[in-house]
Every structure is written in C-alpha cells, then in structure tokens.
C-alpha cells in the first residue's frame, strides 16, 4: 500500500515505519509469476488486487479493490480474465459475473483462518447477531454470514442497520475503528490479527517521521507501468 501511495504521488516522499510490514497476499505472487500466467493464457487481461507489489502491478492491465472488483472485471468487455492473487476474492467475483475467472492460489493469512464452524458457533452463542464477512474469506464462511462486502461496505452496513450485535469477519482491529462511530452496537471479536499490520507502532511512526527513514523507492520503469494499472482503475471508479 505504501508503494501504491508512492505510485500515485511520485513527487512526494513516502515513508513506511517498518519495512518488514508486508502482506501475505502480496508476497504470494511475483512479477515473474504474472509473466508465466500471461504466457500460459496469451491475450487474457490481468486484473490485480490493489494489495499487490508494484512489480506485479507493472505486469497487470488494471487493478481493483474488493469494492469494484466485479465492475472492473466486466468493464474489460472480455469473456475471461486472469484475476490475482486472492483465490477467495476471485471465487467471490466469479459468483457475481459471467466472465470466466482464472485465479491464483494466494490468500490473506487473517481471512483464511476463519471457518464456517467458528461463525456458526458464534451465532449460536449470540442469538440475533448479524455476521458480516469480507470477500477474502473462504466461501463457506461467506455462505454462513448475513452479508459479504468490502471493508467500506461492512462499515456502511453497520451504520445503516445498527444491529444490536455484530461480528465483522475480518482483521480484529477493524471492529475497534467501527465501534467508535457506532457506540450502540456491540461488537463480538474473534480477533484474528494481522502480524504485518501489528509491526507498525507509535514509536516506529515517531522515529520514521523524526528521521525520515524507510523511504519507499520504486524504479522508474516499474513505476511507470504500475501507475497505468492503478490509474486505469481510478478512471473506471467505484
């Protein structure tokens, strides 16, 4: 995400408090992997989830988020696309479109840990609870939930419906943020934490700003190509 910020703001200095704060999903695929897919499926456009490296974006035709994934796929006007790297998000998109999705076996270490049994057990223990899942979750988890959508869609659901109890099937800290704006909603937390996100601390942020350390740098050639895939997504919109 820091790389994406740099891609869209090339003249600005972008810093990352901890250079090891990566993403299991992003690290599941490389630029070389994408080139291999393009050789295997010549002429098929590549749609990459925004949670990918600049190197992968540079090999892609367009990016997407969990909000606009279906819209982006259908905007290309083709009968099949290569959708990378999240296997579960690809599965979710496939159920929403007639476009054939060629997927990759990448997963988010937070969302893949959830199970349908866990969701069902929480529902039994909390009668009337509303369960909202992120599309990066396994299909059986989404099926066991009341609603599935992107992070922003989950937030909107809570704000609009104001359920007495809710479970957000996503990174645990997300519930903390949403509860601030919805004090009358009780959040049940299974608490799957992202170890990469948790590498960012206040002390590291302070040191990073004070010393202007850990600047994000992307080679000109990769940045130019990667920026096009992000800009193309932005032009289509949400």
Render pLDDT for 54-73 as a digit per residue (tens, 0 to 9).
999 999 999 999 999 999 99
Looking at residue 192, its pLDDT comes to 79
Give 195's pLDDT tier (boundaries 50, 70, 90). Answer: confident
pLDDT band at 47 (very low <50, low <70, confident <90, very high): very high
* Residue 4 to residue 66: CA distance in whole angstroms: 16
Cα gap 71→57, rounded to integer Å:
18
Per-residue pLDDT averaged across 170-186, rounded? 88
Q: Tokens for 149, please give them.
A: 């959508």
pLDDT-based confidence at 32, cuts 50/70/90? very high
Helix axes 173-181, 151-161, angle to 10 degrees: 40
Average pLDDT over residues 142-165: 94
Q: Is residue 200 helix, strand or coil?
A: coil
> pTM for the whole thing?
0.89
Closest CA to 28 of 118, 142, 112: 112
Residue 238 has what pLDDT? 64
**What pLDDT is recorded for position 171?**
86
Please state, in angstroms and rounded to a whole number, the distance separating the CA atoms of residues 153 and 164. 18
Q: What angle do CA 157, 98, 235 make, to 5 degrees?
A: 65
Question: Per the structure block, which two tokens stand in for 122?
Answer: 């929480």
Q: Catalogue all structural domains in the chain, each as residue range(s) with its CATH number.
A: 2-108+213-236 (3.40.50.10800), 111-193 (3.40.50.10800)
Residue 183 or 176, more confident: 183
Separation of first and last alpha carbons in the chain: 18
**Residue 190 pLDDT exceeds 90:** no
- The secondary structure element, H or E, covering residue 46 is strand 46-49
pLDDT value, residue 51: 92
Count of H-run helices and E-run strands, the chain = 11, 8
Residue 189 has pLDDT above 90, yes or no: no
């Amino acid at each position: 995400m820091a790389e994406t910020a740099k891609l869209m703001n090339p003249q600005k200095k972008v810093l990352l408090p901890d250079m090891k704060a990566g993403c299991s999903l992003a690290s599941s695929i490389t630029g070389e992997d994408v080139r291999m897919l393009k050789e295997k499926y010549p002429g098929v456009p590549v749609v990459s989830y925004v949670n990918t490296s600049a190197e992968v974006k540079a090999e892609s035709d367009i990016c997407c988020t969990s909000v606009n994934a279906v819209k982006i796929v259908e905007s290309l006007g083709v009968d099949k696309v290569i959708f990378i790297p999240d296997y579960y998000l690809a599965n979710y998109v496939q159920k929403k479109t007639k476009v054939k999705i060629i997927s990759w076996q990448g997963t988010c270490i937070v969302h893949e840990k959830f199970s349908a049994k866990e969701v069902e057990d929480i529902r039994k223990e909390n009668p009337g609870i509303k369960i909202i899942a992120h599309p990066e979750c396994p299909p059986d988890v989404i099926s066991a939930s009341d609603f599935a959508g992107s992070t922003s869609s989950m937030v909107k659901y809570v704000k609009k419906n104001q359920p007495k109890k809710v479970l957000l099937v996503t990174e645990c800290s997300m519930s903390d943020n949403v509860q601030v704006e919805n004090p009358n909603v009780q959040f049940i937390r299974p608490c799957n934490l992202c170890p990469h996100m948790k590498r960012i601390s206040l002390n590291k942020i302070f040191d990073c700003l004070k010393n202007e350390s850990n600047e994000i740098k992307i080679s000109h050639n990769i940045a130019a190509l990667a920026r096009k895939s992000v800009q193309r997504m932005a032009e289509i919109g949400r």
